[in-house]
Amino acid sequence: MTILVCDKVEKDYTLDSRRIRVLGTVDLTVAKGEFVVIAGSSGSGKTTLLSILSGLDRPSSGRVVIAGKDITDLSEDQLAPLRNTLTGFVFQGFHLIPSLNALENIMFPAELNHDPAARSKALDLLEQVGLRHRQTSFPEQLSGGEQQRVAICRALINDPAIVFADEPTGNLDSENSRVIVDLLLSLHRQRRMTLVMATHSRSLAGRADRIIRIHDGQIVGEERPGA
């Protein structure tokens, strides 16, 4: 079953009256439960593509469909609740709210949905990632690895159809990077969740079901590790 369709997506920016193409014509489909890595060097267009696929940014042309819903032409008011329920996003820079503790950061997306089980779901997630004892700690009191684990819990709280991760280990040392990767892949298997991740890490890409290679805004290759 296909859960994500990217159809002829292009992205242009205007700089000093010059039109700069960041993404060429990109076609991509992702199956439900698949772990797909978008691989490429810095500046290749990975983050732009991921932002468009997740609804954080809009394409200049083309269409994006998530779980059967065409999100391309939706207004921000229409898009915001869909982003909160259909997708989860794990950023390189964590993006936790400084004034909220770990538990409150995780609960926040569920509270936006008026979910009465927000607290119990957040506590269960903290237990899964080994951080229940840190539930009252604020982001500044957490290590980078702990902050990223909280961010992963926040991305999962609404049981999204698909989780996007943009260089989730980019700000971490090698040991914390290994822990975060193992955690993401363990949750991917346990929850049968669809995971689309941008990374330049070869070792991480090698654990994916499929690698989509991007260069200068164009898909230049695809491979299946171990196939």
Q: Are strands 18-31 and 2-15 parallel, antiparallel or unpaired?
A: antiparallel
> pLDDT (tens digit, 9 = 90+) per residue, 42-92?
888 999 999 999 999 999 999 999 999 999 999 999 999 888 888 999 988
- What pLDDT shows up at residue 226? 67
Confidence of residue 191 (pLDDT cuts 50, 70, 90): confident
- What pLDDT shows up at residue 103? 98
- What pLDDT shows up at residue 18? 87
Compute how many other C-beta atoms are within 10 angstroms of the C-beta atom of residue 133.
10
For residue 165, give the amino acid letter. A
Instruction: Flag whether pLDDT at 106 surpasses 90.
Output: yes
Consecutive H or E run containing 31: strand 18-31
- What pLDDT shows up at residue 187? 86
The domain that holds 142 is classified in CATH as 3.40.50.300
Determine the structural domain holding residue 82 and report its residue range: 2-223
- What pLDDT shows up at residue 54? 93
For residue 98, give the amino acid letter. P
Distance, CA of 96 to CA of 84 (rounded, Å): 15
Contact 201, 28 (CB under 8 A): no
Confidence of residue 163 (pLDDT cuts 50, 70, 90): very high
- State the average pLDDT for the chain: 92
pTM of the model: 0.91
- What pLDDT shows up at residue 13? 87
Instruction: Flag whether pLDDT at 227 surpasses 80.
Output: no
- What pLDDT shows up at residue 42? 83
Domain count, the chain: 1
Q: What is the DSSP letter of 141?
A: G
CA angle 104, 35, 178 (to 5 degrees): 65
Residue 118, both tokens: 């927000």
